[in-house]
Amino acid sequence: MTVAVFCGSVPGSDPQYMQAARDLGDLLARQGITLVFGGGRVGLMGALADGALGAGGRVIGVIPQSLVDRELAHRGVTDLRVTDSKHERKVLMASLADGFAALPGGARA
């Protein structure tokens, strides 16, 4: 099973957001659920991925080339997929997921 989590690349206005992201990643991994996320190493995205990886989980990052070029990709994930655009990123994330969740910063058009 896979869950795509949409979230921000910033830590948010409350430190609890970062902890909640780490906790969600940890929970998914401990339940044997593969995480699909936006591929970033910073902010809530990075905390989410680090939580899953720290618990031994499988993590698929999906990130546009423009963000890879800015050195924002999380290089420690199980599988990093690079897209040409943010739109293509969302489409690929959706195609890889059985379910979805959104954390702060994740509800963007």
For the chain, what are the domain ranges? 2-102
- Judged against a pLDDT cut of 60, whether residue 108 lies above it is answered with no
Paired with 57 in beta bridges are none
Q: What is the pLDDT of residue 107?
A: 61
The whole-model pTM stands at 0.93
Q: Residue 57 is encoded by which pair of tokens?
A: 């989980």
Dump pLDDT digits (tens) for 49-76.
Answer: 999 999 999 999 999 999 999 999 999 9
Q: Are 79 and 54 in contact (CB under 8 A)?
A: no
User: Can you name the residues that pair with 63 across neighbouring β-strands?
Assistant: 82
- Interatomic CA distance for residues 52 and 31, integer angstroms: 10
CATH class belonging to 2-102: alpha beta
17 closest CA partner among 51, 67, 40: 51
Residues 16-44 have pLDDT tens digits of 999 999 999 999 999 999 999 999 999 99
Beta bridge partners of 5: 101
Q: Per-residue pLDDT tens for 80-100?
A: 999 999 999 999 999 999 999
Whole-angstrom Cα distance, residue 109 to residue 57? Answer: 28
